Amino acid sequence: MSDTHSDEALAAGTPAPAFSLPATPDQMVSLDDLSGKPVIIAFYPADWSPVCGDQMALYNEILPEFHKAGAQLVGISVDGVWCHAAFANDRKLHFPLLADFEPKGAVARRYRVYREKEGIAERALFVIDGAGIIRWSFVSPLGINPGADGILEALETLGAAAPAEGNPS
Amino acid sequence: MTHLAVPVGSQDHTQGQAQSAVTLVEYGDYECPYCGEAYPILKAVQHAMGDQMRFVFRNFPISELHPHAVRAAEFAEAAAGLGRFWQAHDMLYENQAALTDADLFGYGLRLGLASDVVAEGLDGRFDAKIRSDFMGGVRSGVNGTPSLFINGLRYDGERDVDSLVDALRHAAREAIRPRAGMHR
Protein backbone atom coordinates (compact mmCIF):
# COMPACT_ATOMS: atom_id res chain seq x y z
CA MET A 1 0.00 0.00 0.00
CA SER A 2 1.21 3.45 -0.77
CA ASP A 3 1.22 6.22 1.76
CA THR A 4 2.92 8.94 -0.18
CA HIS A 5 1.66 8.55 -3.70
CA SER A 6 1.34 11.80 -5.57
CA ASP A 7 -2.18 12.95 -6.30
CA GLU A 8 -0.99 15.44 -8.84
CA ALA A 9 -0.33 13.27 -11.88
CA LEU A 10 -1.11 15.18 -15.07
CA ALA A 11 -4.85 15.06 -15.56
CA ALA A 12 -7.17 14.56 -18.51
CA GLY A 13 -7.16 17.52 -20.88
CA THR A 14 -3.46 18.28 -20.39
CA PRO A 15 -1.15 18.09 -23.43
CA ALA A 16 1.15 15.10 -22.96
CA PRO A 17 4.74 16.25 -22.37
CA ALA A 18 7.05 15.22 -25.19
CA PHE A 19 9.80 12.69 -24.50
CA SER A 20 12.46 10.72 -26.27
CA LEU A 21 13.86 7.73 -24.41
CA PRO A 22 15.97 4.70 -25.29
CA ALA A 23 14.04 1.47 -25.89
CA THR A 24 17.21 -0.49 -26.62
CA PRO A 25 20.91 0.44 -26.49
CA ASP A 26 20.66 1.84 -30.02
CA GLN A 27 17.02 2.78 -30.50
CA MET A 28 15.16 5.81 -29.21
CA VAL A 29 11.37 6.10 -29.03
CA SER A 30 9.72 9.48 -28.81
CA LEU A 31 6.12 10.43 -28.21
CA ASP A 32 6.21 12.11 -31.63
CA ASP A 33 6.97 8.73 -33.25
CA LEU A 34 3.76 7.42 -31.75
CA SER A 35 1.53 10.41 -32.48
CA GLY A 36 -1.55 10.12 -34.66
CA LYS A 37 -2.80 7.13 -32.71
CA PRO A 38 -3.74 6.65 -29.09
CA VAL A 39 -0.81 5.89 -26.80
CA ILE A 40 -0.94 4.09 -23.48
CA ILE A 41 1.92 4.93 -21.14
CA ALA A 42 2.36 2.63 -18.17
CA PHE A 43 4.85 4.06 -15.69
CA TYR A 44 5.92 1.40 -13.18
CA PRO A 45 8.33 1.30 -10.27
CA ALA A 46 10.81 -1.33 -11.40
CA ASP A 47 11.49 -4.33 -13.63
CA TRP A 48 11.43 -7.74 -11.97
CA SER A 49 8.40 -7.39 -9.75
CA PRO A 50 6.96 -10.76 -8.69
CA VAL A 51 5.47 -12.99 -11.37
CA CYS A 52 1.80 -13.82 -11.92
CA GLY A 53 0.63 -10.51 -10.53
CA ASP A 54 3.05 -8.70 -12.80
CA GLN A 55 1.49 -5.74 -14.55
CA MET A 56 3.67 -5.81 -17.66
CA ALA A 57 3.05 -9.54 -18.19
CA LEU A 58 -0.68 -8.88 -17.92
CA TYR A 59 -0.57 -6.03 -20.47
CA ASN A 60 1.45 -8.26 -22.75
CA GLU A 61 -1.48 -10.69 -22.82
CA ILE A 62 -3.95 -7.87 -23.48
CA LEU A 63 -1.81 -6.28 -26.20
CA PRO A 64 -4.01 -7.57 -29.08
CA GLU A 65 -6.96 -5.75 -27.50
CA PHE A 66 -4.98 -2.52 -27.22
CA HIS A 67 -3.95 -2.86 -30.86
CA LYS A 68 -7.55 -3.50 -31.89
CA ALA A 69 -8.35 -0.11 -30.39
CA GLY A 70 -5.55 1.33 -32.54
CA ALA A 71 -3.41 2.06 -29.48
CA GLN A 72 0.31 1.62 -28.84
CA LEU A 73 1.59 0.67 -25.41
CA VAL A 74 4.89 1.69 -23.86
CA GLY A 75 6.17 0.89 -20.39
CA ILE A 76 8.45 3.38 -18.64
CA SER A 77 10.57 2.90 -15.54
CA VAL A 78 13.89 4.25 -14.30
CA ASP A 79 15.65 0.97 -15.08
CA GLY A 80 18.39 1.07 -17.69
CA VAL A 81 18.17 -0.41 -21.19
CA TRP A 82 20.08 -3.61 -20.37
CA CYS A 83 17.85 -4.29 -17.41
CA HIS A 84 14.79 -3.67 -19.59
CA ALA A 85 16.21 -5.96 -22.28
CA ALA A 86 16.71 -8.81 -19.81
CA PHE A 87 13.29 -8.28 -18.25
CA ALA A 88 11.48 -8.06 -21.58
CA ASN A 89 13.25 -11.17 -22.79
CA ASP A 90 12.40 -13.11 -19.64
CA ARG A 91 8.73 -12.11 -19.73
CA LYS A 92 8.53 -12.32 -23.55
CA LEU A 93 7.13 -8.81 -23.76
CA HIS A 94 6.00 -7.61 -27.18
CA PHE A 95 5.95 -3.88 -26.49
CA PRO A 96 8.77 -1.41 -25.77
CA LEU A 97 10.04 -0.64 -22.30
CA LEU A 98 11.62 2.80 -22.21
CA ALA A 99 14.48 3.70 -19.90
CA ASP A 100 13.85 6.91 -17.95
CA PHE A 101 17.37 6.45 -16.67
CA GLU A 102 19.42 9.54 -17.48
CA PRO A 103 18.61 12.10 -16.31
CA LYS A 104 16.93 9.77 -13.89
CA GLY A 105 13.15 9.97 -13.82
CA ALA A 106 13.02 13.13 -15.96
CA VAL A 107 10.00 11.96 -17.94
CA ALA A 108 8.19 10.63 -14.85
CA ARG A 109 8.76 14.06 -13.29
CA ARG A 110 7.23 15.76 -16.32
CA TYR A 111 4.13 13.60 -15.95
CA ARG A 112 4.27 14.30 -12.18
CA VAL A 113 4.52 10.66 -11.23
CA TYR A 114 8.04 10.53 -9.79
CA ARG A 115 8.57 9.46 -6.18
CA GLU A 116 11.51 11.49 -4.93
CA LYS A 117 11.97 9.50 -1.76
CA GLU A 118 12.39 6.13 -3.43
CA GLY A 119 13.75 7.41 -6.74
CA ILE A 120 11.21 5.47 -8.81
CA ALA A 121 8.13 6.13 -10.92
CA GLU A 122 4.67 5.68 -9.56
CA ARG A 123 2.52 2.88 -10.91
CA ALA A 124 0.69 5.33 -13.16
CA LEU A 125 -1.31 5.02 -16.36
CA PHE A 126 -1.91 7.60 -19.06
CA VAL A 127 -4.08 7.28 -22.15
CA ILE A 128 -3.14 9.92 -24.73
CA ASP A 129 -5.20 10.59 -27.85
CA GLY A 130 -3.89 10.87 -31.39
CA ALA A 131 -3.54 14.64 -31.00
CA GLY A 132 -1.26 14.27 -27.98
CA ILE A 133 -3.76 15.20 -25.28
CA ILE A 134 -3.97 13.16 -22.10
CA ARG A 135 -7.51 11.76 -21.99
CA TRP A 136 -7.25 9.61 -18.85
CA SER A 137 -4.75 9.13 -16.07
CA PHE A 138 -4.67 6.97 -13.00
CA VAL A 139 -2.18 6.46 -10.18
CA SER A 140 -2.41 3.11 -8.43
CA PRO A 141 -1.08 2.41 -4.97
CA LEU A 142 2.52 1.32 -5.56
CA GLY A 143 2.06 -2.33 -4.64
CA ILE A 144 -1.19 -2.81 -6.50
CA ASN A 145 -1.36 -3.82 -10.13
CA PRO A 146 -4.18 -1.63 -11.51
CA GLY A 147 -5.21 -4.17 -14.16
CA ALA A 148 -6.39 -2.97 -17.55
CA ASP A 149 -10.10 -2.31 -17.26
CA GLY A 150 -9.57 1.44 -16.84
CA ILE A 151 -7.33 1.59 -19.93
CA LEU A 152 -9.85 -0.29 -22.07
CA GLU A 153 -12.68 1.97 -20.93
CA ALA A 154 -10.61 5.07 -21.70
CA LEU A 155 -9.77 3.74 -25.16
CA GLU A 156 -13.43 3.05 -25.80
CA THR A 157 -14.33 6.59 -24.83
CA LEU A 158 -11.69 7.83 -27.29
CA GLY A 159 -12.95 5.46 -29.97
CA ALA A 160 -16.50 6.74 -29.51
CA ALA A 161 -15.28 10.33 -29.86
CA ALA A 162 -13.10 9.70 -32.91
CA PRO A 163 -13.09 6.34 -34.73
CA ALA A 164 -9.68 4.68 -34.71
CA GLU A 165 -7.52 4.93 -37.79
CA GLY A 166 -7.26 1.97 -40.10
CA ASN A 167 -10.94 1.22 -39.82
CA PRO A 168 -12.23 2.26 -43.24
CA SER A 169 -15.84 1.17 -42.64
CA MET B 1 -13.55 -1.83 -10.99
CA THR B 2 -14.06 -4.62 -8.51
CA HIS B 3 -17.27 -6.04 -9.87
CA LEU B 4 -17.62 -9.14 -11.95
CA ALA B 5 -18.31 -7.78 -15.43
CA VAL B 6 -19.74 -11.02 -16.83
CA PRO B 7 -22.49 -12.62 -14.73
CA VAL B 8 -22.27 -16.34 -14.09
CA GLY B 9 -24.21 -18.12 -16.84
CA SER B 10 -24.59 -21.19 -18.95
CA GLN B 11 -21.14 -20.68 -20.48
CA ASP B 12 -19.54 -21.29 -17.09
CA HIS B 13 -18.18 -24.38 -15.40
CA THR B 14 -19.94 -24.58 -12.05
CA GLN B 15 -20.10 -26.85 -9.04
CA GLY B 16 -23.09 -26.50 -6.74
CA GLN B 17 -26.57 -25.14 -7.23
CA ALA B 18 -27.46 -21.90 -9.02
CA GLN B 19 -29.79 -21.03 -6.12
CA SER B 20 -26.95 -21.24 -3.57
CA ALA B 21 -26.76 -18.20 -1.31
CA VAL B 22 -23.21 -17.48 -2.36
CA THR B 23 -21.18 -17.92 -5.55
CA LEU B 24 -17.39 -17.97 -5.58
CA VAL B 25 -15.79 -17.29 -8.97
CA GLU B 26 -12.12 -18.04 -9.51
CA TYR B 27 -10.11 -16.67 -12.42
CA GLY B 28 -7.25 -19.12 -12.68
CA ASP B 29 -4.32 -20.35 -14.74
CA TYR B 30 -3.48 -24.07 -14.57
CA GLU B 31 0.25 -23.38 -14.60
CA CYS B 32 0.26 -20.55 -12.05
CA PRO B 33 1.89 -21.65 -8.80
CA TYR B 34 -0.34 -19.35 -6.72
CA CYS B 35 -3.41 -21.01 -8.23
CA GLY B 36 -1.80 -24.32 -7.36
CA GLU B 37 -1.45 -23.16 -3.77
CA ALA B 38 -5.07 -22.03 -3.73
CA TYR B 39 -6.38 -25.30 -5.16
CA PRO B 40 -6.47 -27.40 -1.95
CA ILE B 41 -7.64 -24.35 0.00
CA LEU B 42 -10.60 -23.84 -2.31
CA LYS B 43 -11.42 -27.55 -2.04
CA ALA B 44 -11.49 -27.22 1.74
CA VAL B 45 -13.65 -24.09 1.43
CA GLN B 46 -16.11 -25.95 -0.81
CA HIS B 47 -16.23 -28.76 1.71
CA ALA B 48 -16.85 -26.36 4.59
CA MET B 49 -19.54 -24.42 2.75
CA GLY B 50 -21.36 -27.48 1.41
CA ASP B 51 -24.52 -26.74 -0.55
CA GLN B 52 -24.53 -23.11 0.59
CA MET B 53 -21.97 -22.29 -2.10
CA ARG B 54 -21.59 -22.52 -5.84
CA PHE B 55 -18.06 -22.54 -7.27
CA VAL B 56 -17.18 -21.30 -10.75
CA PHE B 57 -13.86 -21.57 -12.56
CA ARG B 58 -12.92 -19.22 -15.41
CA ASN B 59 -9.77 -19.29 -17.50
CA PHE B 60 -7.16 -16.58 -17.11
CA PRO B 61 -3.99 -18.01 -18.66
CA ILE B 62 -0.92 -15.78 -18.77
CA SER B 63 0.37 -17.62 -21.80
CA GLU B 64 3.70 -15.88 -22.26
CA LEU B 65 4.74 -16.66 -18.70
CA HIS B 66 3.16 -20.09 -18.58
CA PRO B 67 3.68 -21.81 -21.90
CA HIS B 68 1.45 -24.80 -21.04
CA ALA B 69 -1.42 -22.83 -19.53
CA VAL B 70 -3.52 -22.41 -22.67
CA ARG B 71 -3.08 -26.07 -23.73
CA ALA B 72 -4.10 -27.16 -20.24
CA ALA B 73 -7.17 -24.93 -20.42
CA GLU B 74 -8.02 -26.39 -23.83
CA PHE B 75 -7.73 -29.87 -22.37
CA ALA B 76 -10.16 -29.03 -19.57
CA GLU B 77 -12.59 -27.50 -22.07
CA ALA B 78 -12.38 -30.67 -24.18
CA ALA B 79 -13.12 -32.74 -21.07
CA ALA B 80 -16.11 -30.47 -20.37
CA GLY B 81 -17.62 -31.65 -23.64
CA LEU B 82 -17.89 -35.11 -22.07
CA GLY B 83 -19.04 -33.82 -18.70
CA ARG B 84 -15.62 -34.24 -17.10
CA PHE B 85 -14.47 -30.66 -16.69
CA TRP B 86 -13.97 -30.82 -12.95
CA GLN B 87 -12.09 -34.11 -13.08
CA ALA B 88 -9.78 -32.51 -15.64
CA HIS B 89 -9.48 -29.27 -13.62
CA ASP B 90 -8.50 -31.24 -10.53
CA MET B 91 -6.07 -33.48 -12.38
CA LEU B 92 -4.32 -30.44 -13.90
CA TYR B 93 -3.94 -28.70 -10.54
CA GLU B 94 -2.75 -31.90 -8.91
CA ASN B 95 -0.09 -32.29 -11.62
CA GLN B 96 0.90 -28.69 -12.28
CA ALA B 97 4.52 -29.54 -12.95
CA ALA B 98 3.62 -31.95 -15.78
CA LEU B 99 1.53 -30.19 -18.39
CA THR B 100 3.19 -31.07 -21.69
CA ASP B 101 1.00 -32.35 -24.53
CA ALA B 102 2.17 -35.90 -23.75
CA ASP B 103 1.07 -35.43 -20.15
CA LEU B 104 -2.32 -34.11 -21.29
CA PHE B 105 -2.88 -37.16 -23.49
CA GLY B 106 -1.97 -39.32 -20.49
CA TYR B 107 -4.53 -37.51 -18.31
CA GLY B 108 -7.03 -37.96 -21.12
CA LEU B 109 -6.56 -41.71 -20.92
CA ARG B 110 -7.04 -41.65 -17.16
CA LEU B 111 -10.24 -39.63 -17.55
CA GLY B 112 -11.56 -41.84 -20.32
CA LEU B 113 -11.11 -39.23 -23.07
CA ALA B 114 -10.20 -40.77 -26.40
CA SER B 115 -6.96 -39.40 -27.80
CA ASP B 116 -8.78 -37.89 -30.79
CA VAL B 117 -11.00 -35.93 -28.39
CA VAL B 118 -7.91 -34.54 -26.69
CA ALA B 119 -6.24 -33.83 -30.04
CA GLU B 120 -9.33 -31.98 -31.28
CA GLY B 121 -9.45 -30.01 -28.06
CA LEU B 122 -5.90 -28.84 -28.60
CA ASP B 123 -6.53 -27.64 -32.16
CA GLY B 124 -7.63 -24.14 -31.19
CA ARG B 125 -11.38 -24.68 -31.20
CA PHE B 126 -11.65 -23.53 -27.58
CA ASP B 127 -9.39 -20.52 -27.93
CA ALA B 128 -12.29 -18.09 -28.36
CA LYS B 129 -13.99 -19.40 -25.21
CA ILE B 130 -10.73 -19.18 -23.23
CA ARG B 131 -10.03 -15.68 -24.54
CA SER B 132 -13.59 -14.66 -23.72
CA ASP B 133 -13.11 -15.82 -20.13
CA PHE B 134 -9.81 -13.93 -20.03
CA MET B 135 -11.21 -10.66 -21.38
CA GLY B 136 -14.23 -10.88 -19.06
CA GLY B 137 -11.69 -11.13 -16.26
CA VAL B 138 -9.74 -8.12 -17.55
CA ARG B 139 -13.00 -6.12 -17.66
CA SER B 140 -13.65 -7.15 -14.07
CA GLY B 141 -10.27 -5.78 -13.01
CA VAL B 142 -8.52 -9.14 -12.72
CA ASN B 143 -4.84 -8.28 -12.45
CA GLY B 144 -3.31 -11.66 -11.73
CA THR B 145 -4.19 -15.15 -10.70
CA PRO B 146 -5.92 -16.43 -8.78
CA SER B 147 -8.53 -13.67 -8.55
CA LEU B 148 -11.65 -14.44 -6.55
CA PHE B 149 -15.11 -12.87 -6.65
CA ILE B 150 -17.73 -13.49 -3.99
CA ASN B 151 -21.26 -12.79 -5.20
CA GLY B 152 -19.80 -10.60 -7.91
CA LEU B 153 -17.48 -8.55 -5.70
CA ARG B 154 -13.74 -8.94 -5.81
CA TYR B 155 -12.28 -10.60 -2.71
CA ASP B 156 -8.91 -9.14 -1.74
CA GLY B 157 -8.62 -10.69 1.71
CA GLU B 158 -6.38 -13.46 2.95
CA ARG B 159 -6.58 -16.69 1.01
CA ASP B 160 -6.66 -19.15 3.87
CA VAL B 161 -9.62 -21.45 4.52
CA ASP B 162 -10.92 -19.65 7.62
CA SER B 163 -10.78 -16.15 6.11
CA LEU B 164 -12.50 -17.32 2.95
CA VAL B 165 -15.21 -19.23 4.79
CA ASP B 166 -15.84 -16.19 7.01
CA ALA B 167 -16.17 -13.93 3.97
CA LEU B 168 -18.40 -16.40 2.15
CA ARG B 169 -20.70 -16.89 5.17
CA HIS B 170 -20.92 -13.14 5.58
CA ALA B 171 -21.84 -12.75 1.90
CA ALA B 172 -24.40 -15.54 2.21
CA ARG B 173 -26.05 -13.73 5.16
CA GLU B 174 -26.05 -10.43 3.26
CA ALA B 175 -27.57 -12.11 0.22
CA ILE B 176 -30.59 -13.41 2.11
CA ARG B 177 -31.20 -10.16 3.96
CA PRO B 178 -33.87 -7.85 2.55
CA ARG B 179 -32.53 -5.10 0.30
CA ALA B 180 -33.25 -2.38 2.83
CA GLY B 181 -30.65 -3.95 5.07
CA MET B 182 -27.87 -3.39 2.57
CA HIS B 183 -25.50 -0.57 3.14
CA ARG B 184 -23.74 1.53 0.55
Q: Give CA B77 to chain center in angstroms.
A: 12
Spans of chain A, pLDDT less than 70: 1-7, 50-53, 162-169
- A70 in any annotated domain: yes
- A10 in any annotated domain: no
**Cα–Cα distances in angstroms (integers) from residue B97 to residues B31, B122, B144, in the given order:** 8, 19, 20
- The percent of residues above 90 in pLDDT, for chain B, comes to 93
- B155 in any annotated domain: yes
- A12 in any annotated domain: no
Q: What is the mean pLDDT of chain B?
A: 94
pLDDT confidence band for B142 (50 / 70 / 90): very high
- A167 in any annotated domain: no
pLDDT number for residue B63: 94
Q: Which residue of B has its CA nearest to A152?
A: B139
pLDDT number for residue A52: 52
- B145 in any annotated domain: yes
pLDDT confidence band for B181 (50 / 70 / 90): very low
Name the residue facing A52 among B34, B134, B135 (closest C-beta).
Answer: B34
In the predicted model, what is the mean pLDDT of residues B16-45? 97
Residue B175 burial (CB < 10 Å; 0-12/13-18/19+)?
middle
What CATH number did the domain enclosing B71 receive? 3.40.30.10
A52 to B32: CB separation less than 8 angstroms, yes or no: yes
Provide the domain count of chain A: 1
Per-residue pLDDT at B7 exceeds 70: yes
Domain membership of residue A32 as a residue range: 20-161
ipTM above 0.85, yes or no: yes
pLDDT number for residue A167: 46
pLDDT number for residue A162: 61
Q: Please check whether residue A69 touches B, CB under 8 A.
A: no
- The percent of residues above 90 in pLDDT, for chain A, comes to 82
- A146 to chain B: which residues are within 8 Å by CB? 143
Highest mean pLDDT among A7-11, A160-164, B7-11, B180-184: B7-11
Q: Are B60 and B18 in contact (CB under 8 A)?
A: no
Per-residue pLDDT at B184 exceeds 60: no
What CATH number did the domain enclosing A119 receive? 3.40.30.10
Name the residue facing B143 among A51, A91, A146 (closest C-beta).
Answer: A146
- B89 in any annotated domain: yes
B141 to A92: CB separation less than 8 angstroms, yes or no: no
Q: Are B165 and B157 in contact (CB under 8 A)?
A: no
Name the residue facing A51 among B1, B65, B139 (closest C-beta).
Answer: B65
Q: Which of B138, B139, B145, B148 to mutate to test the interface with A (most CBs of A within 10 A)?
A: B138
Q: Which of A58, A91, A145 to mutate to test the interface with B (most CBs of B within 10 A)?
A: A58
pLDDT number for residue A4: 47
Instruction: Return the active site residues of A.
Output: 52
**Spatial separation of the C-alpha atoms in residues A125 and B143, rounded to whole Å:** 14
Provide the domain count of chain B: 1
B102-131 pLDDT, tens per residue? Answer: 999 999 999 999 999 999 999 999 999 999
In the predicted model, what is the mean pLDDT of residues B11-40? 96
pLDDT number for residue A51: 56
